[in-house]
Amino acid sequence: MSKPANLHPLVETRGVEKVYAAGSKVAALCGVDLKIARGEFTALAGPSGSGQSTLLNLIGTLDQPTKGTVSYEGRVVSGLDVDSLSDFRLRALGFVFQSYNLIPVLTAAENVEYPLVLQGVAPAERRKLALEALKLVGLEHYTHRRPDLLSGGQQQRVAVARAIVHRPDLVLADEPTANLDSKTGAQLLDLMEGLNKEHGVTFLFSSHDHAVLERARRVVQLQDGELKSDETRAR
């Protein structure tokens, strides 16, 4: 899943600020500069309200910064129109959410296929790719099950498969283990780590859990909307 090298970082935020103006103005992020290179396995850490989810939303182009820019391989994406952002996310990003967020009326395989459906991939091809992705997350025998018949861990694996099926540049995971018990959470991290190491999938995830943060090769610490530390660990 690796792509050709680019002189620019995969993701770069420059002076990103986000101010929410519900009643009184609240600054969620204050001028964050961050670079993520292709192939990284990076965690965003920090106490609740420190701005991790906001930063993930901005990097994921789900929200627009009040100030500053978000770039992918040197191309500024913050400020693109709604349809261009949708197309960008469809092609370049994968998402894993805290509460799985699978579509309840679709089976595991159909959920995984969905980004490919939106891309207009032919049915046979997308079924093949979805089965491959489900195999990667160890759920090749659960393809026809709907989410309500899967455990939390299995659902999150399906979500991971959905996030990687279209071979995105970056997978963003907002507290992916928060709803899982420690053992299942560890298994999910094993899976994500494996995908990163063996298939070169770039992960950026947020967590409050020390055990999860221990697994990251780079931990970016946020506090009160500012970047407090950026630590890379040798493995």
Partner 1 sequence: MLQLAWRNVWRNRRRSTINVAAMGFGLAAIMFGQSMIRSLQSQLIEKATGSFTGHVRIERRDIDEPKFPDKFMTNPEPAAKLMAADPRVLVWGRRIHMTGLVSSPTMSLGALICAVEPDKESKITDMAGYMKEGHYLEPGTKGIVMGKKIAGRLDVRLGEKVVLMAQAADGSMGAEAFRLVGIHETGSESFDGQMVWVPLSAMQELLGRPGQANELAAKVRNIDDADAVASDLDAQLGPGNIGAMSWKKIDKEIIGIQAFQDGLLTVVLVIVFIIVALGILNTQLMSLFERVREFGVLMAIGARPRWIVKLLIMESALLGLVGTTFGLTVGSLLIAHFGHHGLFLPVGDAFKYFLPFPSVIYLRPSWGMHAFACATVFVVTLLATLPPALRAGRLKPSEALRHV
Residues within the interface to partner 1 (CB under 8 A): 57, 60, 62-63, 82-83, 86-87, 89-91, 94-95, 97, 101, 103-106, 110, 114-115, 117-119, 162
Shortest Å distance, C-beta 134 to partner 1: 16
Shortest Å distance, C-beta 162 to partner 1: 7
Shortest Å distance, C-beta 176 to partner 1: 14
Shortest Å distance, C-beta 118 to partner 1: 5
C-beta of 105 vs 211, nearer to partner 1: 105
Q: What angle in degrees, to the nearest 10, is found between the helix axes of 123-136 and 152-164?
A: 130
C-beta of 83 vs 235, nearer to partner 1: 83
* Cα–Cα nearest to 134, from 206, 191, 185: 191
Q: How far apart are alpha carbons 214 and 114 in whole angstroms?
A: 32
C-beta of 101 vs 179, nearer to partner 1: 101
Shortest Å distance, C-beta 19 to partner 1: 14
C-beta of 38 vs 166, nearer to partner 1: 166
Shortest Å distance, C-beta 75 to partner 1: 17
Q: How far apart are alpha carbons 194 and 201 in whole angstroms?
A: 9
Q: How far apart are alpha carbons 166 and 83 in whole angstroms?
A: 19
Q: How far apart are alpha carbons 30 and 155 in whole angstroms?
A: 35
Q: How far apart are alpha carbons 120 and 117 in whole angstroms?
A: 5
C-beta of 18 vs 38, nearer to partner 1: 18
C-beta of 5 vs 21, nearer to partner 1: 21
Q: How far apart are alpha carbons 157 and 137 in whole angstroms?
A: 6
168: left (phi over 0), alpha (psi -120 to 50) or beta: beta
